[in-house]
């Protein structure tokens, strides 16, 4: 892979016009923002670990657009990417995160007690509840850029930390490369197993290199708390269970996350975080809380209502298919989650999901009875 310092200097022998990517058929955040001027200004720069502008934008060049969602089209290779390439990333962040300004401050709130309600979403409609986030370990480069040595060090630290967990969090680590067939089968049945990325959005950014080396899955014995190691981020932390008790899911999420952070700190390792961008992750779309709190919910009637999209927008929620970000919904069951990541806290975002899903289930019930829902349409949150 070519885009390091020496080759970067080599490329400077060519003019900006000659190196500037052809983005005329592209529709992603990077393509909307990157002008020849910005390219010219940033192309001779690199982060301390050697990440360059072409590294940042390669995935956006290789993937012109996505049918279901507006993709970001750029990634960070390390914590410093967000600083060195801010001329590109600040406007992308602003565009993606509802006008978030370079001077704005982000709030972190992982006190689950601050959540109101959330323990009574109707399980006849809400099939499952889940909260996930990501964490990056300070001092290492990120998945698009890291070497095998770095990735293995991250895995080792993570295993140590996770093995210290006890009580409801006591669990076990399954490295992808030494998984038995039986373990693999079980993890698939539990819907836990993550596989080598096939999405070109991820593979073009270099995140799948050396697969499955130093990748693995840890989960607690109860199968309600799960950590992915070295997939799209250093760590992805997931709390989930069947049914509609989002409150319990969020409690476990917050408690577990805090325990993990404490253990890392005991080993002199912090998570990447700053007061402007919150938690630093590989994709600019996951900055801030990195949190996606969501449910799988049956909304066969509401989803065909003319105002469904509008309602979701006003509730600051987004829909996905139940297969994840690149999929379509099946059988009227949708994955509904918070749309925001940056500029509001974890509690605030989960609150939006809890309140919003409660409302939509009420609307679904009304529509089942053939009643109108116009009076229930919410104002913009």
Which residues of this protein are in contact with other proteins, per CB under 8 A? 1-11, 13-15, 18-22, 46, 48-52, 54-55, 58, 61-62, 77, 141, 144-150, 152-153, 177, 203-204, 206, 208-211, 213
Tokens 């069951």 sit at which residue?
333
For other proteins, give the closer residue by CB, 90 or 213: 213
For other proteins, give the closer residue by CB, 143 or 171: 143
**For residue 59, which of 83, 31, 82 has the smallest C-alpha distance?**
31
Residue 56 Cβ, how far from other proteins at the closest point, in Å?
Answer: 10
Cα distance between residue 134 and residue 227, in whole Å: 9
Q: Are strands 216-220 and 235-242 parallel, antiparallel or unpaired?
A: unpaired
Q: For residue 311, what are its two tokens?
A: 């309602």
For other proteins, give the closer residue by CB, 61 or 110: 61
Binding residues for ATP: 128-132, 191, 236, 292-296, 320-325
For other proteins, give the closer residue by CB, 10 or 68: 10
Cα distance between residue 64 and residue 333, in whole Å: 29
For other proteins, give the closer residue by CB, 102 or 149: 149
Cα distance between residue 307 and residue 305, in whole Å: 5
Give the DSSP H or E segment for 240.
strand 235-242
Exposed (0-12), middle (13-18) or buried (19+): which is 125, by Cβ within 10 Å?
Answer: buried
Residue 158 Cβ, how far from other proteins at the closest point, in Å?
Answer: 16
Exposed (0-12), middle (13-18) or buried (19+): which is 99, by Cβ within 10 Å?
Answer: exposed
Cα distance between residue 153 and residue 348, in whole Å: 34
For other proteins, give the closer residue by CB, 139 or 378: 139
For other proteins, give the closer residue by CB, 202 or 339: 202
Apex 22 CA angle, 11 and 232, nearest 5: 80
Exposed (0-12), middle (13-18) or buried (19+): which is 378, by Cβ within 10 Å?
Answer: middle
For other proteins, give the closer residue by CB, 124 or 147: 147
Residue 273 Cβ, how far from other proteins at the closest point, in Å?
Answer: 22
Residue 55 Cβ, how far from other proteins at the closest point, in Å?
Answer: 5
Residues present in the chain in total: 381
Question: How is 127-162 classified by DSSP, letter by letter?
Answer: EEEEEEEEE-BTTS--TTT--HHHHHHHHHHHHHHH
Residue 202 Cβ, how far from other proteins at the closest point, in Å?
Answer: 12
Residue 166 Cβ, how far from other proteins at the closest point, in Å?
Answer: 30
Give the number of other CB atoms < 10 A from CB of residue 197.
16
Residue 5 Cβ, how far from other proteins at the closest point, in Å?
Answer: 4
Beta strands in 74-212 (DSSP E): 126-135, 171-175
Measure CA of the first residue to CA of the last residue in the chain; give whole Å.
45
Residue 83 Cβ, how far from other proteins at the closest point, in Å?
Answer: 16
Q: What are phi and psi of 112, to 5 degrees?
A: -60, -25
User: Which residues are paired to 236 by β-bridges?
Assistant: 134, 228
């Amino acid at each position: 892979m070519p885009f390091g310092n020496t080759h970067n200097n080599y490329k400077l022998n060519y003019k900006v016009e000659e190196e500037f990517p052809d983005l005329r058929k592209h529709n992603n955040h990077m393509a909307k923002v990157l002008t020849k001027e910005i390219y010219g200004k940033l192309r001779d720069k690199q982060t301390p670990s050697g990440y360059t502008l072409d590294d940042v934008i390669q995935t956006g060049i290789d993937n012109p657009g996505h049918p279901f969602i507006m993709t970001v089209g750029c990634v960070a290779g390390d914590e410093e990417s967000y600083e060195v390439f801010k001329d590109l990333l600040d406007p992308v962040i602003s565009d993606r995160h509802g006008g978030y300004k370079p001077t704005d401050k982000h709030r972190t709130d992982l006190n689950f007690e601050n959540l109101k309600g959330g323990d009574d979403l109707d399980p006849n409609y809400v099939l499952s509840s889940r909260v996930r986030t990501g964490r990056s370990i300070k001092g290492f480069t990120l998945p698009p850029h890291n070497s095998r040595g770095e990735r293995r060090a991250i895995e080792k630290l993570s295993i140590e930390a996770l093995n210290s967990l006890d009580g409801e969090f006591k669990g076990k680590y399954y490295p992808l490369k030494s998984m038995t067939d039986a373990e693999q089968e079980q993890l698939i049945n539990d819907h836990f197993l993550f596989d080598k990325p096939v999405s070109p959005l991820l593979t073009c950014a270099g995140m799948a290199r050396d697969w499955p080396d130093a990748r693995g899955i840890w989960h607690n014995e109860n199968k309600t708390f799960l950590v992915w190691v070295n997939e799209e981020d250093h760590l992805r932390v997931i709390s989930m269970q069947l049914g509609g008790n989002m409150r319990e899911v969020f409690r476990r999420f917050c408690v577990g996350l805090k325990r993990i952070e404490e253990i890392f700190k005991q080993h002199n390792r912090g998570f990447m975080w700053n007061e402007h961008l919150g938690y630093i992750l590989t994709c600019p779309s996951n900055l801030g809380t990195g949190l996606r709190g969501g449910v799988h919910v049956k909304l066969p009637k509401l989803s065909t209502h003319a105002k469904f999209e509008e309602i979701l927008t006003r509730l600051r929620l987004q829909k996905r298919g139940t297969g994840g970000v690149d999929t379509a919904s099946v059988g009227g069951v949708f994955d509904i989650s918070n749309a925001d990541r940056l500029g509001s806290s974890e509690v605030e975002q989960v609150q939006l999901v809890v309140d919003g899903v409660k409302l939509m289930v009420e609307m679904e019930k009304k529509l089942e009875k053939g009643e109108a829902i116009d009076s229930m349409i919410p104002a913009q949150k």
